[in-house]
Amino acid sequence: MLSPKMNLRYSAETVWVVLAAAGAGTVAYASIGDGQVTTGQVMGMPLAAAAPQGPPAVVSTDITWRLNSPAPKVIPESQSNPGAVADKFASRVKSLEKRAAVRAYEGAPPVIPHSIADLNVETCRACHAQGLRAGDKTSKMVSHTYLRNCTQCHVEAESPMLGPDTGPGNSFVGFRPSGYGGTRAGAGAPPVMPHSSFMRTNCVSCHGEFGYDGWKPDHLSRSNCVQCHAPAAEFEQLSPTFGVPDVADGMAATPRR
C-alpha cells in the first residue's frame, strides 16, 4: 500500500503525473518537495522502475497522446545549469546588498550616490524620469513620479564640497529583508509583494528594464502587475491588521522601564 509522503501543495502536479502513467501501466513519479522519490505502487498495482525512453515518433498536444505516452524526461535546471539557480538567488542577494548600502533600513529613501546640482530638482528627472543605463551603471526610473521635491527625502551620500566625514557612531540596525522574496500560495503562484507598495506604484522602477538583477520577471510584457501580486499585510498600513491598535489599552504594550 502506497503511502507516499505527499506534500499536498504539489498534489496537483502529482495527480497529473499519475494520470499520465495510469494508462501505460508503468509509471515513475515523484512527489515534488519532500525530497524523496517513491517508486512503489499506485492504487494497489505494482510499479516497475522508470525506464527513460526516447521521444515518441509523433508529437501531439492531444491529451490522448499524453495518456498513452510516458512523461517526458525533463532535466531540472539545477542539474543542467546548477550555477544559474544559485546565481538567481545570489543575484538577488547581491541586489539587496546594493540596496542596503544606500538605505538606513529597507523602506528608507536611498541616499544619492553621486553629486547633484543642488538648486534645480528638474535635473533629477533627466536620468530618473525614464531610467537609463550608462556602462555598467543604471539609474532607476523613479517609483513615485507624483512627488516633485526630490531633495526633501534624498540627500547626497557624501558632500562633495564639505568632504567625506564618517561622524560619530550610531548603533541603529535597520530592518533588512531576508532575500527569500514573497510567499506563494503554491508552486507557480504569483508571490505576494515582500514590501510596502506605498510610493512604489511604479513597479518597473526596480523590476523593469533598468531594475535590479535577480528581480526582473520573465513577464515584463504584462503591465498590470497588481492584478496578480497582492500587497503584504505586514506593510500595508491600510490593512486592518496593521499596527498596534490605537486604543487606550495601547498602554498595556508600553515597556515598564
CB 106 within 8 A of CB 176: yes
Q: Considering only residues 99-158, where is the footprint of another protein by CB under 8 A?
A: 100, 104-109, 111, 118-121, 145-149, 151-158
> Minimal distance in Å, beta carbon 196 to another protein?
7
Residue selected from 136, 168, 223, 224 as contacting another protein according to rule CB under 8 A: 168
Q: Is 240 among the residues that bind another protein (CB under 8 A)?
A: no
Q: Is 86 among the residues that bind another protein (CB under 8 A)?
A: yes
> Minimal distance in Å, beta carbon 167 to another protein?
4
Handedness of CA 28, 30, 31, 34 (dihedral sign): positive
The residue count for binding another protein (CB under 8 A) is 105
- Rounded to whole angstroms, the Cα distance separating 42 from 163 reads 73
31 bridge partner residues: 36
Residue closer to another protein (CB basis): 183 or 209: 183
Burial 95-124 (b: 16+ CB within 10 A, else e): bbeebbeeeeebeeebebeeebeeeeeeeb
> Minimal distance in Å, beta carbon 205 to another protein?
17
Residue closer to another protein (CB basis): 22 or 37: 37
DSSP code for 49: P
- Rounded to whole angstroms, the Cα distance separating 127 from 42 reads 61
Residue selected from 183, 201, 226, 228 as contacting another protein according to rule CB under 8 A: 183
Q: Considering only residues 11-70, where is the footprint of another protein by CB under 8 A?
A: 13, 17, 28-30, 32-33, 35-37, 50, 52
Residue selected from 137, 184, 219, 222 as contacting another protein according to rule CB under 8 A: 184
- Rounded to whole angstroms, the Cα distance separating 109 from 121 reads 16
Handedness of CA 97, 111, 244, 230 (dihedral sign): negative
Residue closer to another protein (CB basis): 127 or 192: 192
Residue closer to another protein (CB basis): 23 or 209: 23
